[in-house]
Chains A and B, each alone.
Chain A
Amino acid sequence: MTDAVPDRLKIRYPKLEHFQQPNVITTTADFIFSWARSHSVFPFTYGLACCAIEMLSSGFARFDVARYGMEVFRPTPRQCDLMIVAGTVNEKMAPVLKLLYDQMAEPKWVISMGACATSGGPFYDGYNVVNGVDKIVPVDVYIPGCPPRPEALFQGLLELQGKIQQHKFVAESPAGSAAGEA
Chain B
Amino acid sequence: MALEIGTNPMGMDAVAAHLVAAFAGLQDVRVQEPDTVVARCDKGVLHELAQGLKDDVEVGYETLNFIAGVDHVKHFESVYHVYSWKTNTYLELHVEVPRGKAELATVTDVWPAADWHEREAWDMVGIRYLGHPDLRRILLKDDFVGHPLRKDYVDLIENHPHV
Interface residues of A (CB under 8 A from B): 91-92, 94, 125, 127-128, 130-131, 135-136
In the complex formed, the residue of B with least CB distance to A129 is B160
Contacts of B52 in A (CB 8 A): none
B140 within 8 A of A: yes
Complex CA distance for A3 and B144, rounded to whole angstroms? 53
Given A91-B141, A92-B140, A92-B141, A125:B155 Cβ within 8 A? yes
Q: How far is the CA of A127 from the CA of B139 in the complex (A)?
A: 12
- Leading 3 A-B pairs by shortest Cβ distance: A127-B148, A135-B162, A92-B141
- What residue in chain A is nearest B146 (Cβ atoms)? A127
**B contacts with A, residue count (CB < 8 A):** 12
Question: How many Å lie between the Cα of A103 and that of B159 in the bound state?
Answer: 25
Contact between chains at B155 and A91 (CB < 8 Å): no
**Are the C-beta atoms of B144 and A128 separated by less than 8 Å?**
yes
Known interface pairs A91-B141, A92-B140, A92-B141; A128-B159 also in contact (CB < 8 Å): yes
Q: Give Cα distance in the complex from A91 to B145, angstroms.
A: 12
A128 contacts which chain B residues (CB < 8 A)? Answer: 140-141, 144, 148, 159
Please name all residues of chain B whose beta carbon is closer than 8 Å to the beta carbon of A91 when the two chains form the complex: 140-141, 144, 159-162
Residues of B within 8 A of A125 (CB): 155
| Residue on B nearest A132 in the bound complex, by CB | B162
Contacts of B153 in A (CB 8 A): 127
